[in-house]
Structure 1
Amino acid sequence: MMNLSNGYSLYLIVLVSSLPNLSLLSGADPTDGFTEIPLTEANFLLQKPYDIPLEERYSYENGVHKMWVYADDKPHALVQGLDYCSGAWKFEGNVFVPNGTSGATIVQIHGAAHGNTTMLLRIYNGEMRYYTYELVDATNLYDKWCRVNLIHNVDGGLVTVFIDGVQKFETHDHGPGDLYFKCGVYGAPSNISYYMESRWKDIKIYKK
């Protein structure tokens, strides 16, 4: 599978087994009922433009993954990994987006029955949007850390977004598929800044 979008991303691949049918209350606290899955380096795959050394688009220091990309970067290198396909799963991470980054996807759920992705969250002028359309959070998110939770109830077909513990958005998913969480930074199809950056720390995965 070749990702043809420009940019660079940190891939988080979750190695899982099938789970029984579960229900999830959309208004629940993002920590309720979930069990954290221990992560190792094997759970993280790094993706970069194919013609640039890793250290020119990525750094890791004091627990912070820093990723940056330019609008004219080449496409991604090939990345493959395992995924989840049923049950209820939660991604959690703290993100920092510097002022000036706009039109950048910072986190997604990759895979769907219809299309390539279940969820994309993008930053446009400091606001967070679902793809390019619906507003998720109108707060100016630039230059500060915030905690992002994505809860995907695959069996119920719902994705819920929490920002700093407050539910901000809920939507139906795009059908079951080979699913995994992905965070980092890469450009949207249009209206993007030339330089884009995001920083991530305290990345965790939970299941229910």
Structure 2
Amino acid sequence: MNFSYCYALLFVVFVGLLNFSCGDPTDGFTNIPLTEANFDIQHPYNLPLADRYSYENGVRRLWVYSTDKPHSPNSRTQPRTEVRIRGYDYTSGVWQFEGYGYVPQPTSGATIAQIHGAAHDSSTIILRIYDGDMRYYSGDLIETNMYDRWFRLNIIHDVEGGKVTVFIDGVQKFETNDRGPSDDFYFKCGVYAAPKDISHYMESRWRDIKIYKK
């Protein structure tokens, strides 16, 4: 058999195995059906929901201004308009959030997705947009050039393994240790102003939000 032919055949097999092993972040997970009752929208307490949220043609649009009130009169947190997934809080197992997001300019200093709950903090992971880049809280860079395009976001939380993994458009971009056990983990997405360095206007849009469990 011709040597070059054998080499080419082995290369094709190797590439096929590599692609197979990469797979999709949802492989091996079970999709948990969501209804509209699972989507709780937190928004500035002194405004009607329609002033900061819309849901049309399958797209949830959430926006907030830096001068807005928090979501509760008793809260001292920053302004937010966020989807809080209810009905599937968890304390163990492997769980996954999936959604297609869109962040328009000039949104900056805004959390667009998070896992709420941790042993010694309010959150296990926060994904923030700063000047078009996605960061882990205000630190590690996860992805660049996020403005004005639809992207697929998958966040996997392995509670027993103590790991959180982030995928953008099906490609693993980040992995970190979680922040310890909690009696109340849950997923959120939308816009939630960071403590500082925020734009006056912040917005994100979401469609095809799903929850998976393994």
* Structures share fold, TM-score greater than 0.5: yes
Change in CA separation of 1:34 and 1:81 when aligned onto 2, cut-off 3 Å: closer
Corresponding position: 1:65 with 2:71? no
Query: Structure 2 CA distance, aligned partners of 1:162 and 1:81?
Result: 23
Q: Which one scores higher on RCO, CA 8 angstroms, separation ≥ 6? A: 1
Q: Provide the secondary structure at the position in 2 that maps to 1:171.
A: strand
Counterpart for residue 163 of structure 1: 168
TM-score of the superposed pair, with normalisation by structure 1: 0.84
Tell me the equivalent position of 2:190.
184
Alignment of 1:1-208 (within 5 A): 29-77=24-72, 82=87, 83-138=89-144, 140-177=145-182, 178-208=184-214
Structure 2: distance between partners of 1:162 and 1:103: 21
Q: CA deviation at 1:77?
A: 2.9
Whichever residue aligns with residue 84 of structure 1, its letter is: Y
Identity, % of aligned pairs?
67
Q: Which has the higher helix share?
A: 2
- Cα pair 2:39 2:85 within 8 Å, conserved: no
Distance 2:85 2:162 in 1: 24
> For 1:193, what is the secondary structure of its paired residue?
coil
Deviations 1:41-75 (A, max 9, x none): 22111111110110000000000000000001101
**TM-score, scaled to structure 2:** 0.82
Cα deviations across residues 70-121 of structure 1 (Å, max 9, x unaligned)? Answer: 0011011388955111000000000000011000000000001110000000
> How many residue pairs were aligned?
181
Unmatched segments (≥5 aa) in structure 1: 1-26
Cα RMSD after superposing both structures: 1.6
- Runs of 4+ in structure 1 off by over 2 angstroms are 77-82
1: CA distance, partners of 2:114 / 2:210 = 14
Higher-Rg member (1/2): 2
**Aligned equivalent of 1:17:** none
Gaps in structure 2 of 5+ consecutive residues: 1-21, 74-83
Residue 193 of structure 1 deviates from its aligned partner by: 0.3
